[in-house]
Chains A and B, each alone.
Chain A
């Protein structure tokens, strides 16, 4: 029981990080219908900017200020990355052959990974745990279930971001514009919505969310390298598809599910096959629900 509770806590924390990245995938997919393969690498960029800021500020300011600076600066730089990636690699291909943006995105992903590898080296980079300690949830015959401050902080930040983001999409004019472009870009443009600007903003917001996820990943695991974006990106993409790509609650749900599957599979079966378990469950779910858990069923018109 205690063991299961610990896995639940770990799985939820991991799932929150996946969910945040998945939101970026699903937003971009919803609005321009392409898989932004480079999104996982933006997450990696975010983690690296976080490590730069934390390294630079260690000893100079108090810890909360340094963390705040890491989050804000990382989100800002990643937003610029998201904007530039869309402008350079995707906008010229909009409305073109469907596979063209996909290949361009894969190229962008390879480019970003190797850019970081070349400029920062292939070594793993580690930082110490900045928020040690936590609270004990349960003590069962000496097995202590811990909820660390770090895990609580990650959950709180994620929930806060998701709440803010949901408000943005459902209540603000910008969110209305985003949903309108998602439904029908041409009609939205006719009604005076600047679609290019809306799409740019979508990339900027998605990338900023990925940056938050990246910094949290850095703080939680303490170790990053140039390759973390690939795995996290694929997992988040899986999460987005599992929840039903294009659906925001679906992305979060998918992320949490994948985090839980990973944690419980590692806890009760073998760690080696945890990724295989995630992918198999994805395939099984899609066999019975081809649009994912919360996805809209596509209506085809002839």
Chain B
């Protein structure tokens, strides 16, 4: 009985704090009165409901904490790991056949393209954060460099998507190196703020260099990707995809094609990452994450290792940016704000930094769910923020936190818990 009384007291305290927190913001509303001056109106009902909601939620959490079974079922991570052998190929098959499913509304293919873009960004950032353990809060800079490289090169020099793609990647990688040099000696949060600052500098330059980039108005008129020279046009006729194959032009053909392009690019990122992890460079990245001093002592060139991590991560960011720019046909600095960096980083961390499959799951959750909430436009980002906090509290190590060692001395691979793995100090 006393336990319940304690819970009630605790919940009442939470409700009191909630009253103070919500009081000014939910209870009051700034209004403009007729004279153009500010006035205040009150919303007592909403405030009371919010406070009661907090009280009930706290009471529920406390009651559940007392009555939950002592032994929890094996975590999601372990289960996913067990069935992981089947999940990854199953997801891949689904990803490949998805756009061809009959009767699928175009909006879903579009959503697929969006999710795949973030999967690709997540995999790119995973190289920097998950493998090399370098915290990068400004990844969107490389996305922006890729997008604007494509726009500038294609508009000024008349090159197509496929010619620009490697150029965009190389330019982004170059900027990755530029960022890498000054931050080589920095650790942890110093690295975080400099990468964040770098992302902001790129965005500010794009916004203010109006003669080159069009400033806040953005850029228009980039060519769309073509399939071996075949355009996707609703007009049909010779030289277009539909005309060449004798099909009726339909919007889904273009969307499906774009989907396969980004799927291919994302899989390329994944393949390169997985290959690199087995090679000296990838092992050096992981060693760097585990212990930088040990790396140095064993003769690993820390400078080159860090720079390649930044460069390769940026390279794929540039690819994704190039694709984004080609698909939208319009880019402006608004697409490259800090919130994008934060979203991609959240995808990597939620997935369980370092896990390729985790990134896919996290991208589906983080990008797919907000899209479903389009109807709740103004509440969308609010829910996004709440979800970030809640997911981190429930699963601080991400969806897939167990790890299989990359290098083995014995015969059998043993998956270890995420808490045994270092996360790098850089």
Contacts and interface: CB of A to CB of B under 8 A. Distances in A.
Interface of A: 29, 35, 45, 48-49, 51-52, 55-56, 77, 80-81, 83-84, 88-89, 92-93, 96-104, 106-121, 125-127, 230, 234, 237-238, 241, 245, 270, 272-273, 275-276, 279-280, 282-284, 286-287, 290-292, 298, 300, 302
A89 B330 CA distance: 38
Contacts of A275: 200, 204
B246 interface: no
A235 B27 CA distance: 31
B396 A234 contact: no
B94 interface: no
Interface of B: 17, 20-21, 23-26, 28-30, 38-40, 129, 135, 182-183, 185-190, 192-194, 196-198, 200-201, 204-205, 207-208, 293-294, 338-339, 342, 345-346, 349-350, 353, 378-379, 381-382, 384-389, 392-393, 396-398, 418-419, 423
Contacts of B386: 107, 111
B193 A119 contact: no
A11 B392 CA distance: 39
Contacts of B197: 238, 279-280, 282-283
Given A93-B393, A280-B201, A300-B293, A110 B190 contact: no
SS of B interface (majority): helix
Contacts of B28: 52
A88 B54 CA distance: 12
A289 to B, nearest CB: 10
A290 B185 CA distance: 7
Contacts of B419: 97
A283 B182 contact: yes
Contacts of B186: 286, 290
A290 B30 contact: no
B423 A80 contact: no
B24 A49 contact: yes
A241 B423 contact: no
B213 to A, nearest CB: 13
B342 A99 contact: no
Contact of B190 (A111, A117, A286): A286
Contacts of B30: 51-52, 55, 120-121, 125
A287 B191 CA distance: 11
Q: Find the residue from A56, A88, A97, A275 having the highest chain B CB count within 10 A.
A: A97
B55 to A, nearest CB: 14
B334 to A, nearest CB: 13
Contacts of A102: 135, 192, 349
17 contacts: A35-B192, A51-B38, A84-B17, A84-B21, A89-B393, A97-B419, A97-B423, A100-B349, A100-B396, A104-B393, A110-B384, A111-B388, A114-B378, A273-B205, A279-B197, A283-B197, A286-B182
Contacts of A283: 182-183, 194, 197-198
Given A245-B189, A290-B186, A272 B385 contact: no
B349 A108 contact: no
B388 A104 contact: yes
A96 B190 contact: no
Contacts of A35: 189, 192
Nearest to B390: A107
Closest 6 A/B residue pairs (Cβ): A107-B388, A111-B385, A110-B385, A279-B197, A100-B396, A114-B382
A96 B40 CA distance: 43
Given A103-B345, A111-B389, A276-B204, A52 B24 contact: yes
Contacts of A116: 25
Given A51-B30, A80-B21, A106 B388 contact: yes
A96 B198 CA distance: 28
Contact of B349 (A84, A99, A118, A282): A99
Given A121-B30, A290-B187, A103 B193 contact: no
Given A103-B388, A120-B29, 8 more contacts: A48-B25, A89-B392, A97-B396, A106-B345, A107-B392, A110-B339, A275-B204, A276-B200
Nearest to A73: B24
Contacts of B379: 114, 118
Contacts of A241: 189-190, 193
A97 B418 contact: yes
Contacts of A300: 293
A286 B197 CA distance: 12
B339 A99 contact: no
A108 B385 contact: yes
B389 A245 contact: no
Q: Find the residue from A51, A117, A272 having the highest chain B CB count within 10 A.
A: A272
A21 B204 CA distance: 23
Given A116-B25, A117-B378, A302-B293, A107 B204 contact: no
A91 B200 CA distance: 30
B205 A276 contact: yes
Contacts of A302: 293-294
A127 B396 CA distance: 43
Contacts of B382: 111, 114-115, 118
A99 B353 contact: yes
Given A80-B21, A241-B193, A55 B349 contact: no
A77 B190 contact: no
A127 B201 CA distance: 32
Contacts of A103: 345-346, 349-350, 388, 392
A100 B397 contact: yes
A118 B393 contact: no
A182 to B, nearest CB: 15
Q: Find the residue from A89, A103, A270, A280 having the highest chain B CB count within 10 A.
A: A103
A147 B338 CA distance: 36
